[in-house]
Chains A and B, each alone.
Chain A
């Protein structure tokens, strides 16, 4: 698949926001009395800002952003539609959570529970957009949901750690430990997905695509020589060495370096981890082999 920058930014930014929210909520749960409301107000503002940035990025993915409101219509069947509902709901609760802390309200924990639930719902919705595409075997697997959730939580925890360096130094250590654990855990699950995907046998073959049973079939012409939507949307268009480079980047930027940095230089941890996540998301698209590509191999 072609990794669209808008989608890379959307999923990583809101993922970080969602994870940050959960980190805030857990912090409140475990250490409520020791923290100033401003930590939560500022944190919630960060959550909302990340989500707004993600939302803005997502609009660049749409051909008709002015009709984006229509996307809520098909929540019964479409995970994308569900995401479109869950995201603003989550943002709203996150904003209320911050407001509640700012105003000294007593129901912050209740909002925290709701927000955390919405955050998890949103993780599932976002991940299921991909996991529900049955023809993309790399995506259509529970690990996709696990990874979106864990990677979001990990980046949120990283963000929380970096944020805590400035806003709540006392939390740096526990948050960094949480972040470390989440990154480590996500390394295991993302690693599992990478391994799985590397050995996947495609369900569709040129034989099934054409309905011709013969071991030797080669495309000679895809019917158009100047390319088409099909040659743009479903191919990353990069060389194998570039793809390998991104894999290295995602392993180091998304896991190895953050694991070190989160313990040694927590202020930097999020920035590096986020960069690694962008590489991870790029790779997530690039490694997905769309069966339609069987029909788009050659010109002549």
Chain B
């Protein structure tokens, strides 16, 4: 053999100019550190940053495909205005300048702000800058702001935060480094994905046992040691049965429950009292925090009498029934929990979940025995909030993870609260081997940010009197008018969905179209595909966006869409603002929003531009800072009325939450010379310092402050000093939630203050149960389960989740279209062939799609990859692209509202507590498509054409070779 001619090691362009720049990925919500390699100014390679605490050098399929996002032909490059005389949705646009764009926006928004600020609604999708968008809305004075959390996983946030003061998500997670046993319940691949994959890999290599409870075995469940199929929406029943078994067998961590949860607190059991079900409070007890009094009672089992909670030397009875000296009957919260789950036998749960009772018992035993017998002890001394010094940190090595699979059901809040209670019973909260918090969590139950309290909070030319999004603590925190009616366009924080902490973006368009509770003028959408996969009932929503009043005006008069790509939604804009990609902008993963903290301390990070903006695109942050300046929003305006911030980077450096607070968007390198962490005056060189450190800032807490942070004195003092928490009172776990009970009492007319409208009293009283409950998803009650016997659910594939990359030439080759996965026996019984065309139909609509037989899905469930199906021509794909011709969107089958009740009222198809969209609740039936039907998915929509400023000719092929000014040879 002669020697090779082609040198496989030689650099192909030896004289090319190369550069490596560090920034943060934004191909999904994970936010890994990346190093972007440039060759002659083009992206050659994007690698995981090995020094980054989050991903430690790894990167996923999306991160590795950033090149194809950057150079996608679907990119918008010019501000566009709907052509005069053209209909909305007809996709007819003309280029305009940014000057014109800002002039249009300034004029319109200034008028709204001066007259009725709530007529401006700002809703964002995969926004990683809620600290800024939320601030903008608040300063503008509109309550009508939210990101996509309402249909994402607010149940997960709320269910756990209202119970343990923290949650999965970016706020906490399983300590797989030390766990022995790991349960993943429902689809949960989407958040914190790369670190979780790494941790699961290490966990399994180290001999940990991984159990997946999921209707579908895909994703992480694929590598579980055991897969337990479950019917969707029934997880709560499973968890309650496990709780029952654990209590019945005494497998709970009593010591932990007694000291760190409200298990031993005495609950008023006087049915005649207006305080029935509320915690008894010791009048002369220490309230600790007047805003959140802690003067509870324990029944000290040693002295057999009521004492102040955490009295030194006392030990609360967790079980039993007691009579207070004043004659009030009382029970410890734990006793009430035990009574609550008494009927939740494994047999009861088997009938609901489809999991054999013996398996349910075994799961409980595995959890309980592992937690009890494999205790972890770390030689780390720490002091608890009550001053007791502990020589070590201990933990029980049973960890859980869950996310949307539990959350996206209308019973998700109670299910997730049940999970948080189970985790607490096992003694695994912020302890090694269990669940660990990440800064800024743990926070108070609930955190201290409150929504506005009434109509008066919205005033012309005035910032909103409250945060647009916050945490409701009592019924009086609801954002309702004098009649108890909603004041937000999405009806969040109303009696219909009181604890809707992330808003209810999924109802905005329907409500605005209906003018219920009122019409709005301008709807600004950022990075949200509301005319497609981000809306339920997509076909109808698309009509609403174009619907007109009798006077010929649009029901939603003005729609502004900001996105980097042409999408199904851009067609419905009146104004389109071209956003940059993540490689062309400054960004920050702010400690004020959802930072990327690790278990051992806060971490935040930034993006810096590694490429110049394409065409005339402009980062949305710059648009907001510019608009805020023009509208003279107070936080963006100097005392003399001038513009306070030059641009977004300038804003990030100099903005402080309050004058002189020393707290800003970024926690690192604060202080004049960057010498301070967490808190300190603005540092003009802060961006450079982040850049120098790989675009992240990591703060390591001392080991003594890394655990038990709900009750860790050292940590709490630090958290208060740094502004992470307002107070430093202990965060006692709510095994029993008197916060929920207060809503129930209000609904029963036993509580002064805000009252639910009469028609909502029963609903509130039913679902605001202070103890965990399971009820069938709300849609079940209004569905014909005989005719629609199957559950239909979706998940995103790993190569696409939290991404918007159908425009991505590499990723779309992996998932060009989607099929409906049906258990082989179910499909055969319905006469549907593997690979054949079929119909899937709900009471709301029907979709024709392709079938894939599967052995890895529970027989009563069908599922598909979500948001792979696209509208023809969208994302600058050809009209005959697989995404539109073979792919489909299940959203057509899901309603954003439940059927009208007897009174004709239509509630949002959401959790009655949090407003989380119940998009995993839909019931369907399936049947084969007729042989003579077209081999194309249905419904179809008129193909979209490219917009001005987009690449005219979509390449018929690509061979990306960076450094050659475009594609290779």
Give the B-binding residues of A (Cβ under 8 A).
Answer: 73-74, 216, 218, 220, 223-226, 298-300
A298 to B855 CA separation, bound complex (whole angstroms): 15
Say which residue of B1, B813, B852, B855 sits within 8 Å of A300 (CB atoms). Answer: B852
Does the CB pair A225–B855 fall under 8 Å? no
Does the CB pair A225–B813 fall under 8 Å? yes
Q: Which 9 A-B pairs have the closest CB atoms?
A: A225-B816, A300-B852, A300-B819, A226-B816, A224-B813, A226-B813, A225-B817, A224-B814, A225-B882
Distance from A219 Cβ to chain B, minimum over Cβ atoms (Å): 11
A224 to B817 CA separation, bound complex (whole angstroms): 10
Distance from B98 Cβ to chain A, minimum over Cβ atoms (Å): 38
B37 close to A (CB within 8 Å) = no
CB closest chain-A residue, reference B218: A220
Say which residue of B814, B835, B854 sits within 8 Å of A223 (CB atoms). Answer: B814
A226 to B810 CA separation, bound complex (whole angstroms): 11
CB neighbours (8 Å) of B855 from chain A are 216, 218
Contacts A/B (CB < 8 Å), 26 sampled: A73-B2, A74-B1, A216-B855, A218-B855, A220-B852, A220-B854, A220-B856, A223-B814, A224-B813, A224-B814, A225-B813, A225-B814, A225-B815, A225-B816, A225-B817, A225-B882, A226-B813, A226-B816, A226-B882, A298-B835, A298-B852, A299-B819, A300-B818, A300-B819, A300-B821, A300-B852
Besides A73-B2, A220-B856, 12 more A-B contacts (Cβ < 8 Å) are A74-B1, A216-B855, A220-B854, A224-B813, A225-B814, A225-B815, A225-B816, A225-B817, A226-B813, A298-B852, A299-B819, A300-B819
Distance from B798 Cβ to chain A, minimum over Cβ atoms (Å): 12
Distance from A100 Cβ to chain B, minimum over Cβ atoms (Å): 37
Distance from B823 Cβ to chain A, minimum over Cβ atoms (Å): 13
CB neighbours (8 Å) of B1 from chain A are 74
A300 to B857 CA separation, bound complex (whole angstroms): 14
CB neighbours (8 Å) of B835 from chain A are 298
Distance from A72 Cβ to chain B, minimum over Cβ atoms (Å): 12
A210 to B206 CA separation, bound complex (whole angstroms): 25
A298 to B835 CA separation, bound complex (whole angstroms): 9
**Number of B residues contacting the other chain (C-beta, 8 Å)?**
16
Distance from A168 Cβ to chain B, minimum over Cβ atoms (Å): 49
A165 to B55 CA separation, bound complex (whole angstroms): 80
A256 to B525 CA separation, bound complex (whole angstroms): 73
CB neighbours (8 Å) of B814 from chain A are 223-225
A73 to B5 CA separation, bound complex (whole angstroms): 14
A97 to B744 CA separation, bound complex (whole angstroms): 107
CB neighbours (8 Å) of A220 from chain B are 852, 854, 856
Give per-residue flags for B112-142: 1 if the beta carbon is below 8 A from chain A beta carbons, else 0: 0000000000000000000000000000000
Q: Interface centre among A73, A223, A300, by most B CB within 10 Å? A: A300
CB neighbours (8 Å) of A218 from chain B are 855
A73 to B819 CA separation, bound complex (whole angstroms): 49
Distance from A225 Cβ to chain B, minimum over Cβ atoms (Å): 4
CB closest chain-A residue, reference B852: A300
CB closest chain-B residue, reference A223: B814
CB neighbours (8 Å) of B882 from chain A are 225-226
Distance from A65 Cβ to chain B, minimum over Cβ atoms (Å): 18
CB neighbours (8 Å) of A224 from chain B are 813-814
A226 to B813 CA separation, bound complex (whole angstroms): 6
CB neighbours (8 Å) of B856 from chain A are 220
CB closest chain-A residue, reference B817: A225
A223 to B61 CA separation, bound complex (whole angstroms): 12
CB closest chain-A residue, reference B864: A300
Q: Interface centre among A74, A223, A299, by most B CB within 10 Å? A: A299
A12 to B856 CA separation, bound complex (whole angstroms): 49
A220 to B851 CA separation, bound complex (whole angstroms): 12
A224 to B835 CA separation, bound complex (whole angstroms): 16
CB neighbours (8 Å) of B854 from chain A are 220
A10 to B728 CA separation, bound complex (whole angstroms): 85
Distance from B478 Cβ to chain A, minimum over Cβ atoms (Å): 46
A73 to B815 CA separation, bound complex (whole angstroms): 42
A226 to B886 CA separation, bound complex (whole angstroms): 11
CB neighbours (8 Å) of B816 from chain A are 225-226
Give per-residue flags for B939-953: 1 if the beta carbon is below 8 A from chain A beta carbons, else 0: 000000000000000
Distance from B243 Cβ to chain A, minimum over Cβ atoms (Å): 36
Distance from A152 Cβ to chain B, minimum over Cβ atoms (Å): 32
A299 to B855 CA separation, bound complex (whole angstroms): 15
Distance from A280 Cβ to chain B, minimum over Cβ atoms (Å): 32
A224 to B818 CA separation, bound complex (whole angstroms): 12
Distance from B570 Cβ to chain A, minimum over Cβ atoms (Å): 25
A74 to B2 CA separation, bound complex (whole angstroms): 10
A225 to B850 CA separation, bound complex (whole angstroms): 13
CB closest chain-B residue, reference A77: B1
A75 to B816 CA separation, bound complex (whole angstroms): 44
A46 to B132 CA separation, bound complex (whole angstroms): 82
CB closest chain-B residue, reference A76: B1
Distance from A259 Cβ to chain B, minimum over Cβ atoms (Å): 43
Distance from A194 Cβ to chain B, minimum over Cβ atoms (Å): 30
Distance from A233 Cβ to chain B, minimum over Cβ atoms (Å): 17
CB neighbours (8 Å) of A299 from chain B are 819
CB closest chain-A residue, reference B835: A298
Distance from B184 Cβ to chain A, minimum over Cβ atoms (Å): 21
Distance from B872 Cβ to chain A, minimum over Cβ atoms (Å): 17
CB neighbours (8 Å) of A73 from chain B are 2
A218 to B813 CA separation, bound complex (whole angstroms): 21
A218 to B817 CA separation, bound complex (whole angstroms): 20
Distance from A285 Cβ to chain B, minimum over Cβ atoms (Å): 25
A225 to B854 CA separation, bound complex (whole angstroms): 17
CB closest chain-B residue, reference A225: B816
CB neighbours (8 Å) of A226 from chain B are 813, 816, 882
CB closest chain-B residue, reference A228: B813
Distance from B472 Cβ to chain A, minimum over Cβ atoms (Å): 43
A298 to B854 CA separation, bound complex (whole angstroms): 12
Give per-residue flags for B833-873: 1 if the beta carbon is below 8 A from chain A beta carbons, else 0: 00100000000000000001011100000000000000000
Distance from A241 Cβ to chain B, minimum over Cβ atoms (Å): 17
CB neighbours (8 Å) of B815 from chain A are 225
A225 to B1 CA separation, bound complex (whole angstroms): 38
CB neighbours (8 Å) of B819 from chain A are 299-300
Distance from B934 Cβ to chain A, minimum over Cβ atoms (Å): 20
CB neighbours (8 Å) of B821 from chain A are 300
CB neighbours (8 Å) of A216 from chain B are 855
A216 to B853 CA separation, bound complex (whole angstroms): 14
CB neighbours (8 Å) of B817 from chain A are 225
CB closest chain-A residue, reference B2: A73
CB neighbours (8 Å) of B813 from chain A are 224-226
A220 to B218 CA separation, bound complex (whole angstroms): 11
> Which parts of B877-921 form the interface with A (CB within 8 Å)?
882
CB closest chain-A residue, reference B850: A300
Distance from B163 Cβ to chain A, minimum over Cβ atoms (Å): 38
A223 to B813 CA separation, bound complex (whole angstroms): 8
A225 to B835 CA separation, bound complex (whole angstroms): 13
CB neighbours (8 Å) of A223 from chain B are 814
Give per-residue flags for B787-822: 1 if the beta carbon is below 8 A from chain A beta carbons, else 0: 000000000000000000000000001111111010
CB neighbours (8 Å) of A225 from chain B are 813-817, 882
A298 to B819 CA separation, bound complex (whole angstroms): 11
Distance from A141 Cβ to chain B, minimum over Cβ atoms (Å): 29
Distance from B835 Cβ to chain A, minimum over Cβ atoms (Å): 8
CB closest chain-B residue, reference A74: B1
A225 to B813 CA separation, bound complex (whole angstroms): 6
A74 to B1 CA separation, bound complex (whole angstroms): 7
Distance from A98 Cβ to chain B, minimum over Cβ atoms (Å): 36
CB neighbours (8 Å) of B852 from chain A are 220, 298, 300
CB neighbours (8 Å) of A300 from chain B are 818-819, 821, 852
CB closest chain-B residue, reference A218: B855
A204 to B882 CA separation, bound complex (whole angstroms): 33
> Which parts of B43-59 form the interface with A (CB within 8 Å)?
none
A216 to B854 CA separation, bound complex (whole angstroms): 12
A89 to B855 CA separation, bound complex (whole angstroms): 59
Give per-residue flags for B182-221: 1 if the beta carbon is below 8 A from chain A beta carbons, else 0: 0000000000000000000000000000000000000000
Distance from B161 Cβ to chain A, minimum over Cβ atoms (Å): 37
